[in-house]
Amino acid sequence: MPRDKHNISRTSISEHALKVLYRLHNNNYEAYLVGGCVRDLLLGVEPKDFDVVTNASPEQIKALFRNCRLIGRRFRLAHIVFGRDIIEVATFRGHHPEEDDDANLNTSKQNKEGLLLRDNVYGSIKEDAERRDFTINAMYYSIADFSIHDFANGVSDLEAGIVRLIGDPETRYREDPVRMLRAVRFATKLGLRIEENSRAPIKGLAHLLGNIPPARLFEEFLKLFMNGKAVANFVSLQELGLFNYFFPQIKTALKQEDSNEYRMLYQLFIDTDNRLNNGKGVTPAYLFAAILWYPVVSRAEELTQDGGLPEYDAFQIAAADVVGKQAQSISIPKRFSLPARDIWLLQLRLQQTAPRRAERLLGHPKFRAGYDFLLLRAKIEQRPDLQELADFWTEFQRGKETGHNPPGAPGQSTAPRKRRRPRRKSGPKDTGPAKDKS
């Protein structure tokens, strides 16, 4: 597509991406924008990041840029660092050689289920396009003549509202099971639908997500549920049998849409989307606290009944147990798991509504998150005692803000106590002179 046939302008491209493109081009290398940024620019959407692809090897790229670092073992990439902005540059990928000799094993490797473990095979732009996952991600913007190279009819699929895999869907999903998650995310993000042949194998191959490193699934979780489309992604992942592999501890409960677990997650994702779409922040710690709340409660009850532990101690141990099990699926960094534990333990401390304790609790760094979660629990569980507690904390905060006396604890009188007059200490009674018994 020549320049006059598409709507992409250099004014919409990051200045840092343009610097990288032009330096590669001026040193006689091919240089293209590729993937999601081209797709988004065609749709009139501001890209989140800009990826570059070239025929230069990673070592040649590093020689051109002092601010370059090479990363990746599965596939070697160059990151060009401009302060907080990073432009990712990849070398054209090629097809895997059919011969199975030692030289080829140094560049590519698959496991018995087809998962790519190493993929440093380089090729031409056409081969690179065939190795892309979806047709809408196989479009290239050339800095040489500002044209778009569309190798897989991605423009047509965009116009038709379709997310379609390139090649045989089952083979491509086996190569990288995360493509199943990406198909869902692109469909919800762009308002598209997954093409039928690309959708059909997903349920049968969902178990392959069990082979994905927990750190990578954590990153995919953030992309799916911190982008303003959490509800749509949750529903789609549930339909395709994919969500269970994020949080296996609640997979049984999520089979019932009227369960507290399902209703909790659905409302959580509604609230998350509303906050993000209104320009407000959301911390992953709060999401993990809500999603894993019922496994923590269940484990704490076991410890209380079987081991006779105090409730607070049982919750602390239960929190550690649940986070430890969760790490087998999604490795939650401590910067999120520790605040999640604070939110869980605050559910106990928020029951302590004596005025002095309540006032001290307002200064807790995670008080607001704990209070918000209490409101969510009250909405989901519809227990009168929870709602009464939530109302107390709402009024208590309002009273502190307006300078009025905060209310008393739920179920207690708010009338001031009568002060008792202290008793006067009396000395020993005078019993007169002691009698002489002699």
What amino acid positions are annotated as catalytic residues?
49, 51, 133
Q: What is the 3-state secondary structure (H, E, C) of 293-348?
A: HHHHHHHHHHHHHHHCCCHHHHHHHHHHHHHHHHCCCCCCCHHHHHHHHHHHHHHH
365 burial (CB, 10 Å; 0-12 / 13-18 / 19+) is exposed
First vs last C-alpha separation in the chain: 130
Query: Widest CA span of the chain, in angstroms?
Result: 131
CA dihedral 41→44→48→53, nearest 10 degrees, is -10
- Name the one residue in this structure whose structure tokens are 């107390």: 392
Take residue 200 and report the two structure tokens written for it. 């059909």
State how beta strands 193-194 and 162-163 pair: parallel
State how beta strands 139-142 and 31-34 pair: antiparallel
Contact residues for 170 (Cβ-Cβ < 8 A; gap 6+):
201, 205
